[in-house]
Structure formats: structure tokens, C-alpha cells
Amino acid sequence: MPSDKRTAVVLGASGYTGAETLRWLLGHPNVRVVGATANKHAGKRLDALWPQFVGATDLVLGTEAVPADVTFLCLPHGEASKIAPSLSGTLIDLSGDHRLPEPVHSAAYGFARATDPWVYGLPELGHARMLGATRVANPGCFATALALAMLPMRGALPAVVNAVGLTGSTGSGATPTPTTHHPARAENLRPYKVLDHQHVPEVVAACTLPGGPTFALDFVPMSAPLRRGILVTVPLPGATVEAYRAFYAGNPLVRVLSTPPDLHGVLGSPRADIAVVEKDGRAVVFCAIDNLCRGAGSQAVANLNLVMGWPVDLGLRSLPPVP
């Protein structure tokens, strides 16, 4: 029977962001998933790799992308840009391959990118710019949390912004490394890429008004003994609860809370939780997200919604698990 649903394929569905993107797509009312790929896991059933999907799909992980209305690229940096030129339809790239212009991209990622235009898919930068887009660069996970913490202050940010962010181990992908596997992460906190995280240029670009003053972002990322979740802390003089509530009013993917957020409020959820704590003219902004949801898969689905002209939170309305 013919379907008016849009077809979707996920490249890299054996990885964390790919599986999370599929989780949201399989529950989306306007989408039919028609394919999923993997590299070393190709040939396996998706539900053999991820028991979460037993009963939800009988997809087998392939090696090649099949044609679809939309293709999600959940691949390592450098791999997405290799395959993108051969794909048709709408592409939503979760890697860092298409987020930054040159020469900033080369400085951040160590290889040059093609100059074809991709829309930076942070929904809060405006919905109209996404409608009908065929090439969407999904923001980085830290970049999403930092930009959401700072966007309401765009144009009024200090010349130097300081920020600290903690992240869970899934942020580094499914393949363990000496600094990301369990014995190294458990019961440990470890700063890394201090003042040198590749997401910083994304945040500066997103939070600078065209023709307006720019700023430096001194960011200290820290690996935390968690699987999922990002919490960033940004002291921002001049930030007020009222301004943040007004900026995010009506946004179903951001909640402005009265007390500092914690990760339990966002894990498994497509929403970001933000709070501004003010005292004696000073202010600290917090933003909590699930790196695999608002920082990756559910944000990619929100971007699909905007490309298609659907409500930004279509298929993304579930609440986080309790407790």
C-alpha cells in the first residue's frame, strides 16, 4: 500500500548517534525507515546488536546507502564528507564535517572541507532558514549546550566568556580508547582539550550577530563518570531569568527552570534544561542536555521536522524516564 510518509536511512546505525537517531525515527509519525548501514557490524540484524529494537524493526545493517528522502550521516569525522557527494535527497550530517567554514574547519579538524553550503542546524537560530534545506549540519553536542546557554545574550556577551562542561562517555562513540574505556572513566574526572575543543568555533559563530562584536570562549571540557549527559556552566554577567524565559518562550525543546538543572531531567529527552542563577548583579547560566538526544539524534530529527515544515517537536514529545 502506498505511504505518504517520508523515507529515511541512517548511515552508521551500529554507533551511538545512529542508534539514537533510529530510536526517534522509528516512533516518528511521518517517517518510514527503509535502511541502515554499518561498517564492521554490517550484515547483522539491528535488533541483534541493539536489543532495545527487538519487536520494533527487522532491519538488517547494510554496507551501502539505499535511496531515501532523507539520509542521516552518523559517521566518524572525515567519513561523512567522503560519502555525502554521492547521496541524493536531504542529508543531515551529525559529524563535524560540514559545520564550519574554511579555514576554521581545517584548523579545528585537521583536513579541508568542500565549500558546498550546508545550513547549521541549531533550531534556535531560526526555523525559516531550515525549510526546504537539502544539506543540514547538525551541531556538536557540547556546541549545542554552550550555544543554548549563551544565545539569549547574543550581542551582549563579554569579550571573553569562560565555561566548564562535563560529559559522559557515549560522547566519544562506541569504540573504547585508552582515555574513554570504563576503567579510565569510572570514579574519575579528567579535563581534556582545555581551551582547544573543536566545538568552540561553532559556538562563537552561532552566538555572534552578523556584523556584531565577536568574543573568545575559554572552554574547559571534562570527562565525567557517566554514560550520557552534558552539563555546562557559564558565568555570564548581565544574564537574567526574565530574558532567558522570554527568549525561549514557546520553544518545546528548551525548558527554563527556576533552579539549576541536573542530568536526570534530560536523559533520554529531546529537551535542554537551562537555568540562570543571579546574585548581587552576577549571574551563572547552566545548560543540561543528553548528548545523544538534544546533542545528536533528536536534534537531527528536529532538523528534519523543520526542513519538512512540520512542528519542530513532531515525534519528540516523550518525557524523560522517572527517576
Ligand X SMILES: NC(=O)c1ccc[n+]([C@@H]2O[C@H](COP(=O)([O-])OP(=O)(O)OC[C@H]3O[C@@H](n4cnc5c(N)ncnc54)[C@H](OP(=O)(O)O)[C@@H]3O)[C@@H](O)[C@H]2O)c1
Residues forming contacts to ligand X in the complex (CB under 6 A) are: 12-18, 38-41, 74-77, 79, 94-96, 140-141, 170-171, 173-175, 291-292, 295-296
- In whole angstroms, give the CA distance from residue 222 to residue 145: 14
Q: How far is the CB of 275 from ligand X (least distance, A)?
A: 22
Write down the least CB distance from residue 282 to ligand X, Å.
Answer: 31
| Minimum CB–partner distance for residue 228 and ligand X (Å) | 8
Taken as a whole, the chain contains a residue count of 323
Please give the torsion angle defined by the CA atoms of residues 54, 263, 95 and 53, in that order, rounded to the nearest 10 degrees. Answer: 0
Q: What are the residues facing 161 on neighbouring strands?
A: 217
Q: Would you call 245 helix, strand, or coil by DSSP?
A: helix
Residue carrying the nine cell digits 564535517: 97
CB of 3: closest distance to ligand X in angstroms? 27
Q: Which amino acid is at 206?
A: A
Active-site choice (74, 141, 207, 293): 141
Closer of 199 and 276 to ligand X (Cβ): 199
Q: Least separation, in Å, of the C-beta of 106 and ligand X?
A: 16
The residue to which cell 559556538 is assigned: 203
Q: Does the active-site annotation cover 293?
A: no
Per DSSP (E only), the strands in the chain are 6-11, 31-37, 70-73, 90-93, 119-120, 135-137, 160-167, 190-191, 216-223, 230-235, 254-256, 272-279, 282-289
By C-beta, is 235 or 320 nearer to ligand X?
320
Q: Name, in order, each residue with C-beta under 8 angstroms of 208's C-beta and a sequence gap of 6 or more.
A: 154, 214, 215
> CA 213, CA 128: separation in Å to the nearest integer?
24
Please give the Cα distance from 207 to 160 (Å, whole number). Answer: 13
- In the complex with ligand X, which residue's Cβ is closer, 62 or 260? 62
d(CA 198, CA 99): 11
Positive or negative: CA dihedral 105, 160, 286, 123: negative
- What lies within 8 Å, CB to CB, of 321 at 6+ separation is 267, 268
For residues 72 and 248, which CB has a smaller minimum distance to ligand X in the complex? 72
Least distance to ligand X, CB of residue 237, Å: 30
Residue 65 or 157: the one with the smaller Cβ distance to ligand X is: 65
Toward ligand X, which CB reaches closer, 16 or 286? 16
Active-site residues: which are they? 141
